[in-house]
Structure formats: structure tokens, C-alpha cells
């Protein structure tokens, strides 16, 4: 899953980026509202963490611009004061969730996971496809209860396919969602990751849809 962090506090932005990356996300970062608005409108993200008190363009204006442009990416807003009026303004502008600073990093991670699950249509923290189970809380993948050891990129590919279970996902879409903006992307490596996943999982749940991409479905 690919995230965007829009935060002008350099230390907090670094902490967020490092922790989210450690949790397996591909993370892009913007230090002001102008850059954040541009990235949100031009890049495909699975969720955005958006500070409201931004230079150049404030967070509420960025959010309103995204929604006016039809950008439906789920957004968690960070409020400095935590006042009820600021929260209401954020929700009314199109935010899906909020956190008041200072916040606990574990709570932010839990909210990000829940937000992505809900927007992909999954109510439970565990997503299953036949014997394959992904626990979104821990990132643990099992087949018939047996843990499967995956690399970071293999895990991102599987996680994205699991969240989109039953839907056809193109190689281009996978490439856009497993790599951060500054990463040297190569859509040909998707085939390599899928091949490795099939061998490691040992069950036929990743189907190739000729000319279109891949679909996760029960064998």
C-alpha cells in the first residue's frame, strides 16, 4: 500500500515516514500544502496523512481542493489544537478520520490500517482468500495456519491483491502502489514478485487474467 504524508514539521514527518515504511508501506512525503495538493491530485495513494497547519496552502484548503477535483483517497487529518470546531471543519471538508497532536504512533498506525480496510470493503482486520490469511494488524501471512516469510515487496504485492480480492489488478496499478515516488520503478519486476509469491504460498489463488493483470481468488 502506498501512502502520502503531508507534514511541515520535519522531525515529525521523518518519524512518520520511517515508521510507516517500517510497517511495509511505500511512503511519499510533502512539506507544504502546495506540494501535497499536487501529489494528491497526480499520484495514486491508498491513504493520506494530512496536517492542517501547513505553509503555502493550509490543510483544509488542500482537502477541499482534492474533493472538488474528485480525489476520493481516504484522508486522516492531524490537528494541532484538537478543538471540536477544527475536527468538524475537517470532517465536513471530506476527511475520513482525525488525530489530535500529540498522538500515539500506534494509534495512527491502527487508524491507517482500519481506514484502508474499510475503503477496500473489508470489515475484519484479517483478510482471507481460501487458505491464505493476511493479518493487517501484524502483517503476518499464513497458509493453512502456517506462517509464510515474504520480502517487503512480495508482501506489498500480496497485500494489495488481498485488499482488492476478486478484482482484476493491472501490473501498472501494482507498480504505482508498491513503490514510492522516488523509487526506480519497473513493471516487469511485478511478474517476478508474483512468481515468487505463487511458489511461497503453494496454493493457486493468484490468477493471471490474460492481457489485463492479476486477480486474487479462491482456488
Residue pair 96/137 in contact (Cβ under 8 Å)? The answer is no
> Is the predicted pLDDT of residue 219 greater than 80, yes or no?
no
Instruction: Indicate whether 204 and 100 sit together in one domain.
Output: no
Question: pLDDT band for position 217 (50/70/90)?
Answer: very high
Instruction: Indicate whether 95 and 29 sit together in one domain.
Output: yes
pTM of the model: 0.81
Question: Checking DSSP bridges between strand 47-51 and strand 26-30, what pairing results, if any?
Answer: unpaired
Instruction: Indicate whether 85 and 10 sit together in one domain.
Output: yes
pLDDT at 82: 60
- Mean of the per-residue pLDDT values for the chain? 91
> Is the predicted pLDDT of residue 93 greater than 80, yes or no?
yes
> Is the predicted pLDDT of residue 216 greater than 70, yes or no?
yes
| Alpha-carbon 135 to chain mean position | 15
Range of the domain at 205: 126-216
Question: If you average pLDDT over residues 30-37, what whole number do you get?
Answer: 97
Domain count along the chain: 2
| Alpha-carbon 139 to chain mean position | 13
Instruction: Indicate whether 32 and 95 sit together in one domain.
Output: yes
Helix (H) or strand (E) holding 170: none
> Is the predicted pLDDT of residue 187 greater than 70, yes or no?
no
Instruction: Indicate whether 138 and 95 sit together in one domain.
Output: no
Question: If you average pLDDT over residues 75-98, what whole number do you get?
Answer: 86
Q: What CATH number corresponds to the domain at position 194? A: 1.10.10.10
Instruction: Indicate whether 90 and 155 sit together in one domain.
Output: no
Instruction: Indicate whether 8 and 96 sit together in one domain.
Output: yes
Instruction: Indicate whether 7 and 80 sit together in one domain.
Output: yes
pLDDT at 84: 77
pLDDT at 81: 66
Instruction: Indicate whether 101 and 186 sit together in one domain.
Output: no
Q: What CATH number corresponds to the domain at position 21? A: 3.40.50.2300
Instruction: Indicate whether 155 and 205 sit together in one domain.
Output: yes
Instruction: Indicate whether 103 and 188 sit together in one domain.
Output: no
pLDDT at 87: 83
Q: pLDDT tens across 57-68, in order?
A: 999 999 999 999
Q: pLDDT tens across 143-182, in order?
A: 999 999 999 889 999 999 999 999 999 998 998 888 887 6
CB under 8 Å to 28, separation ≥6 — which residues?
2, 3, 4, 5, 39, 43, 45, 180, 181, 182
Amino acid at each position: 500500500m502506498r501512502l502520502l504524508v503531508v507534514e511541515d514539521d520535519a522531525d515529525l514527518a521523518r518519524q512518520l515516514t520511517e515508521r510507516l515504511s517500517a510497517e511495509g508501506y511505500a511512503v511519499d512525503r510533502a512539506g507544504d500544502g502546495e506540494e501535497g495538493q499536487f501529489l494528491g491530485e497526480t499520484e495514486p495513494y491508498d491513504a493520506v496523512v494530512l496536517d492542517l497547519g501547513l505553509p503555502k496552502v493550509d490543510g483544509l484548503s488542500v482537502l477541499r481542493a482534492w474533493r472538488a477535483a474528485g480525489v476520493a483517497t481516504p484522508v486522516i487529518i492531524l490537528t494541532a489544537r484538537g478543538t471540536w470546531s477544527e475536527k468538524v471543519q475537517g470532517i465536513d471538508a471530506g476527511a475520513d478520520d482525525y488525530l489530535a497532536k500529540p498522538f500515539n504512533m500506534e494509534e495512527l498506525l491502527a487508524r491507517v490500517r482500519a481506514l484502508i480496510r474499510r475503503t477496500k470493503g473489508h470489515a475484519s482486520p484479517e483478510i482471507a482468500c481460501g487458505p491464505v490469511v493476511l493479518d493487517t494488524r501484524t502483517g503476518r501471512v499464513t497458509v493453512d495456519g502456517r506462517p509464510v516469510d515474504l520480502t517487503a515487496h512480495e508482501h506489498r504485492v500480496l497485500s494489495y491483491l488481498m485488499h482488492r480480492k476478486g478484482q482484476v489488478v493491472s501490473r501498472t496499478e501494482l507498480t504505482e502502489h508498491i513503490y514510492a515516488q522516488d523509487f526506480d520503478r519497473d513493471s516487469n519486476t511485478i511478474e517476478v514478485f508474483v512468481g515468487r509469491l505463487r511458489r511461497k504460498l503453494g496454493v493457486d489463488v493468484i490468477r493471471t487474467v490474460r492481457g489485463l493483470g492479476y486477480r486474487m481468488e479462491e482456488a
